[in-house]
Amino acid sequence: MDIKSVIRKKRLKGELTSDEIKYFIGKLNKGDITEAQASALMSYIYINGLTEEEILNFSISMAESGDMIDLSDIASNIVDKHSTGGIGDKATILLMPILASLGIPVAKISSRGYGVSGGTIDKLESIPDFKTDLSVEEFKKNLKNINVCIMNQGLSFAPAEGKIYKLRNEVACEDSLPIIAASLMSLKLATGSNKIVFDITCGKGTYIKNREEAKRLSRLLVKLGKSLEKEVACVITNMNQPIGYSIGHNLEMKETIMALRGIISEDLGNVVEALGSIMISLATENKDLDANAKMIKEAIKSGAAFEKFKEMVSAQGGDVDYIEDPELFERSKYIMPVLSTETGTVESIDADMVGSIATYLGAGRMKDEGKINRTAGITLNKKIGDQVAVGETLAYIHTDEDSKINGTTQNLKDAFQITTKKINFKSKILEIVK
* Distances 77 to 36, 125, 184, 276, 283 between C-alpha atoms, Å: 42, 28, 19, 15, 6
Do 335 and 96 contact (CB within 8 A), yes or no?
Answer: no
Domains of the chain from N-terminus onward: 3-49 (no CATH), 79-156+168-324 (3.40.1030.10), 330-419 (3.90.1170.30)
User: Dihedral (C-alpha) 33, 175, 358, 424: value to the nearest 10 degrees?
Assistant: -170
Q: How far apart are CA 223 and CA 59, in angstroms?
A: 12
Cα(311)–Cα(326) distance, integer angstroms? 16
Sign of CA dihedral 339, 342, 346, 351: negative
Contact present, 381 and 395 (Cβ < 8 Å):
yes
The pLDDT value recorded for residue 113 is 61
Distance from chain centroid for Cα 76: 25
Instruction: Give the pLDDT confidence score for residue 196 in this predicted structure.
Output: 94
The partner residues of 349 in beta bridges, in order of sequence, read 416
List, run by run, the mean pLDDT of 10-residue segments along the chain (434 residues): 95 97 95 94 96 96 91 89 87 96 92 66 94 92 95 82 87 90 91 91 83 94 94 91 94 98 94 96 94 98 98 98 98 97 95 92 70 93 95 97 93 96 78 88
Determine contact, residues 399/412, Cβ cutoff 8 Å.
no
Does residue 58 contact residue 182 with C-beta atoms inside 8 Å?
Answer: yes
User: How many Å apart are CA 225 and CA 239, to the nearest integer?
Assistant: 25
For residue 238, the model assigns a pLDDT of 87
Which is it for the CA torsion 106, 108, 113, 114, positive or negative? negative
* Residues contacting residue 358 through CB under 8 Å, at least 6 positions apart: 87, 116, 247, 248, 364, 376, 377, 378
User: What is the model's pLDDT at position 219?
Assistant: 95
**Closest to 84 measured CA to CA, from 207, 171, 169, 263:** 207
Strands lying side by side in the sheet with 416-419: 387-388, 344-349, 416-419
Task: Measure Cα distances from 147 to 73, 78, 108, 125, 406 in Å.
Answer: 13, 9, 11, 20, 47
What pTM was estimated for this model as a whole?
0.90
